[in-house]
Structure 1
Amino acid sequence: MKRFIRLLISSLIVFSICVITAYGGASGNYVVLKPEAFQTVVDGKKVALYTLKNTKGMVVQITNFGAKIVSILVPDRKGQLGDVSLGYDNIDQYLTGNPNYGSIVGRYANRIGNASFTLNGKTYQLTVNDAKVNHIHGGNKSFRTVVWNATQLDEKTLELTYFSKDGEEGYPGNLNVKVVYSLTDENEMRIDYEATTDQPTVINLTNHAFFNLAGEGSGDVLHNELTINADYYTPKNDTFIPTGEIIPVKGTPMDFSKGMKIGAKIKEDYPQLKVTPTVPGYDINFVLHKKSGNELSFAARLYEPNSGRVMEIYTTEPGIQFYSGNNLNGQGGFIGKGGKPYQVYGCVCLEPQHFPDSPNKPNFPATVLNPGEWFKSTSIYKFSTK
């Protein structure tokens, strides 16, 4: 019996060492993902889970289904790793649940009003998939729901490509898209986007990660301190389409320019906070302060005081969408890894982007891509502690 106990203890020690080795540091309170839980075939293409690691213990796991970030492991101020990205622990849930978790969104991220736009005198009708009238996140068969071709270039880098056919979800032009995820030893996750087309089209790409710096499924984010490098925002109508105005944040609950707790003004009686019939919150595009049009510059900072984790975002994009998890309810698609319920205000989405409905708003930065041009965009998510 004693020999059995010694063997059992030895086996547990070996298993623990394997987990620590695999993830580059002491394992914290997070769900260890199993690669086999992501192996399947969708539309004749193989789906898998890919792991990126740096020398500091940061780990990012990505599936080529929707080019989705599945987990982001980063240390807290005590050095304990935690998973700060909401999502699922198996491919079956990704196939049937919330399609947005960690996904690459396109051809056009966010909304296009009346699911249509006019380009060079021709009107294009897109798939209606939002509020029974609008188009959101590229439609039903969008970049978040297709299998990408994946090539792991090295331990820190994953390249994903997708060919979007002319007419897909109503968009003109054959579009070749490349997304590269990479890590640095400064605990940065970098996303580089590129695209080319053979016809004039519109494009707006982002990543729709849902962050909780205390650890996914660990409660609400109202105590998090958020800074957004923006003096203006684009107000929306009752179907979340921008009115076309660009107005100051000063003196409104939208002013995060000097840093503010997310919950400080979230329940104020302010029209732009009325995002659901019962739950107020943020779901709005901010106009980033830029010295030049496409510079890689500071966009936002998020600080979670209990863990000490900090996330800073730098981007070449002109805007960033801030969403405060208003629709999460702990049921159905909002049950995540390990069966954890994702409750209301349980995440922060900060999505670098061009503005919603830009194809129909001539005063917004242009999103037209022509043959012979390259679409290029970069966003960096830098993690640290204090």
Structure 2
Amino acid sequence: MDETRIDFLYLNEQDMIQSGVTDMEKCVEVMCDVYRLMGEGDYLMGGGNNNSHGQPIFFPDEPKHPGMPKNGPDRRFMTMEAYLGGKYHVCGEKWYGSNRENLSKGLPRSILMVMLNNVETGAPEALMSANLISSMRTGAIPGVGAKYLARKESKVCGLIGAGVITKTSFMSIAITCPSLEKVKIYDVFPTSAERLANFIRKNYPHIKVIELSESLEACVQDSDIVHAATSGAIEPEFNEEWLKKGAYISLPAGIKLPKDFVINRARNIVDNWKTYEAWAEELEYPYSSHIPLLGCSLLDYVHDKVLPLEKIQNLGDIIAGNIPGRIDDDEIILFAQGGLPVYDIAWAWTCLQKAKEIETGQILNLWDKPAMA
């Protein structure tokens, strides 16, 4: 074969399903490996400090040019690029457009693709449908956190918000915390809570009790694990008194917690502190006013010199063995999550290996010889 010929594999959503994209147990295993590599430093992402979440395009509130889109809820385009070492040894990016108005058209809010590229030549290796890649890798991370940060033999899990991300997050938490016996669900929309309860009843018969909580407080109280993933304009607000001693709090979305508690009595673990530092370079202070995540609140506290930097730790350092995980059964651990492109690249690469094994997808030709060498 001519060495100048470049082919790549295209995988549509059905191809991805056949290639194991919905295998949560495998996804958790891969995400643990990603964190190990991050703890060892064998990765790169975009931005000036090689740790950026991604590069967004936001449209203006009042466009000055004909045809330019107008800003709106979740209206943006974004690229999230990364290199991941180890066995993956691949570059790639997740690219997506997002618009909440899509929902009225029967489309997902965001439509995502992942491209993987050869590290040496830059040639494409695969282009794949990525909505399931993204939802599965996002859901896997709370379970990875629970594996290393939750109390052993945790029995009660409180779920705040009952959307797709909570569904996939529970899938991973159930894998890493098999001792769970009771699940409490709170959502401002009772039909969403009931839908999630039915999913758990059907797929996790070992869960003895499923309770639809009437309030945020009731859901949080006595829960060994609390997972909060809401998407509304109003962020849920927790009181410290609600939190059980030793609770693991998974926070992939906006949340309000007492500042004094976060600074003085909680243990703060983040997915990757350098990504928040990248946001500090890209945004104006206060950072949490732009991105309402716990990690950005921690950025504010570090900026204000009320929280020492050494009190913020990376999950990757725990998994790589650089620092200990849970220290005692009473510490309340907050796990701040923001989403990282290394997750997408690793899970896409893993699915690509399966696709090659089962010979699914469509081979597309880029060229036999480049028109201009």
The TM-score, its normalising length taken from structure 1, stands at 0.30
Structure with the larger strand share: 1
Structure with the larger helix share: 2
Greater relative contact order (Cα 8 A, min sep 6): structure 1 or 2? 2
